[in-house]
Amino acid sequence: MFLSKLFIPISKDLPAEAKIKSHQLMLRTGMIKQSSAGIYSWLPLGFKVMKKIEQIVREEQNAIGAQEMLMPTIQSSEIWKESGRYDDYGEEMLRIKDRQGREMLYGPTNEELITDVFRASVKSYKSLPQLLYHIQWKFRDEIRPRFGVMRCKEFYMKDAYSFDLSDEEANKSYNKMFFSYLKTFNRLGLKAIPMAADTGPIGGDLSHEFVIIAETGESKIYADKNIIDIDLNQYELNDGSLSKMREDISKIYAVTDEKYKKTDFDNHVKKENQMITKGIEVGHIFYFSDKYSKPMNCLIDDKDGKKTSVKMGSYGIGVSRLVGAIIEANYTKDIMKWPKSISPFDVVIIPSISKNNKENLEKAEKVYKKLKKQNIDVLLDDVDENMSNKFKKHDLIGVPYQIIIGSKSDGDNFEFKELNSQSEILNLDKIQLKLKS
């Protein structure tokens, strides 16, 4: 992509309404545009990043055997009346009437809808366990939408649901998801802390929030520092190993503020390891057993032919919130550097251009073509602007690698720079290898 052709409405001014870095940066680099309070359009640059995050989330769900499907955004009120949540959910639910006067709603979450799908077809324990997920827009009429994509009314979420015959089996599904979440956040370049959480309005008795450390976060973290260094490589995708993982992790103290008790904290965590800080919730998992299957009559025949309510859990990841959260985690001073796995481009070529010297631009186009052939996603900054402005702009856009074409380039050797470090002169073949590794 040539920068001059890219729809990227960069703005030089600091947007007054944006209080935190990620929100400012997303507006300044034209990743999003607010449409109304808490509702955004995703412009090409922001959309590209979000789609890359979505793909990593998807791959890690598929890796544990979860199956992707798609449920609608608009739901009927009937199923919510069955579960009892139509009244309980309150004003966060956006309620709509169709032309026949039927009560509908824009889904804030999907426990009811998936239970309805499930009960219509699955009748026997032989079809269990099942893990289903979808990645779909949600709507919650948040009273105070703020911080850009962090707390919106309309947001993009991956939500998964597990179905098992017994608590014991359900615990295995829970562990798989737990593992998948840690892997997902690792691939996104994040250190997410799994914190034991209260179950809140969704109900049930087992729940974890996955939180990344950030000054601007709305969640409080009370944890033993050692929780940050869990090495996932020691665990494998089988029930025994994952149960060991849960055991190991549960020994390291990490809780949300609803669960925090000073005496427990002091008893379980050495003073020098105590960490009290703030963070952003990027995922949340729950086991709630038959909370929905029971009132909604979602019954399964067990091995003895006896009917029993299916045991369920639900598992959310805030895909659109993650775009902002990753910026908060990676921004230093005036430089934003995307993790390689989700950067909007693999590399940007920055030629020094002037009115009477188009030579560098021609060189840049040649390099561009070569890299494209290697399936490397390249941005070429063909805008006629001085180099210092260009560098400032690319510090904000955050593509992690730059090929700078100016006086230091010679033949097939170019100035190559990783954001936040020194540049070096490298042969194009070497550059390609670095970009592909």
Residues in touch with ligand ATP (CB under 6 A): 109, 140, 142, 151-152, 155, 157, 281-284, 316, 318, 320-321
**With respect to ligand ATP, which residue has the nearer C-beta, 291 or 393?**
291
Shortest separation between residue 402's beta carbon and ligand ATP, angstroms: 32
**Half-sphere exposure at residue 317, Cβ-oriented, CA atoms within 13 angstroms:** 30
149 exposure class (CB count in 10 Å sphere: 0-12, 13-18, 19+): buried
Q: Which is nearer to ligand ATP, 115 or 409 (CB)?
A: 115
Minimum distance from residue 157 beta carbon to ligand ATP (Å): 5
Report angle CA 128, 287, 194 to the nearest 5 degrees: 120
CA atoms within 13 A on the CB side of 422: 2
List, in sequence order, every beta strand (DSSP E) within 269-412. 274-289, 299-301, 307-309, 311-318, 331-332, 335-336, 347-351, 378-380, 401-405
Nearer to ligand ATP, 140 or 393 (CB): 140
Write down the least CB distance from residue 81 to ligand ATP, Å.
20
As measured in angstroms, the least distance from the Cβ of 433 to ligand ATP is 37
* Nearest CB to ligand ATP, comparing residues 75 and 320: 320
Question: For residue 68, what are its two tokens?
Answer: 């992707």
3-state secondary structure of 265: helix
Whose Cβ is closer to ligand ATP: residue 45's or residue 282's?
A: 282
Please report, for residues 8, 177, 190, 217, 278, the alpha-carbon distance to residue 22 in angstroms, rounded to integers and kept in the order given: 17, 28, 15, 12, 16
CB of 90 to ligand ATP, least distance (A): 13
**In the complex, least distance from residue 82 CB atom to ligand ATP, rounded to whole angstroms:** 20
- Residue 324 or 398: the one with the smaller Cβ distance to ligand ATP is 324
Residue 322 three-state SS: helix
Nearer to ligand ATP, 174 or 345 (CB): 174
Residue 187, phi then psi, degrees to nearest 5: -65, -25
Please name the residue ranges forming H helices in 155-298.
167-187, 239-250, 262-268
Considering beta carbons, is residue 40 or 179 the nearer one to ligand ATP?
40
Q: How far is the CB of 159 from ligand ATP (least distance, A)?
A: 7
Q: How far is the CB of 161 from ligand ATP (least distance, A)?
A: 13
- Residue number with the shortest CB distance to ligand ATP? 318
- Whole-number Å distance between alpha carbons of 347 and 340: 10
**Is 128 in a helix, a strand, or coil?**
coil
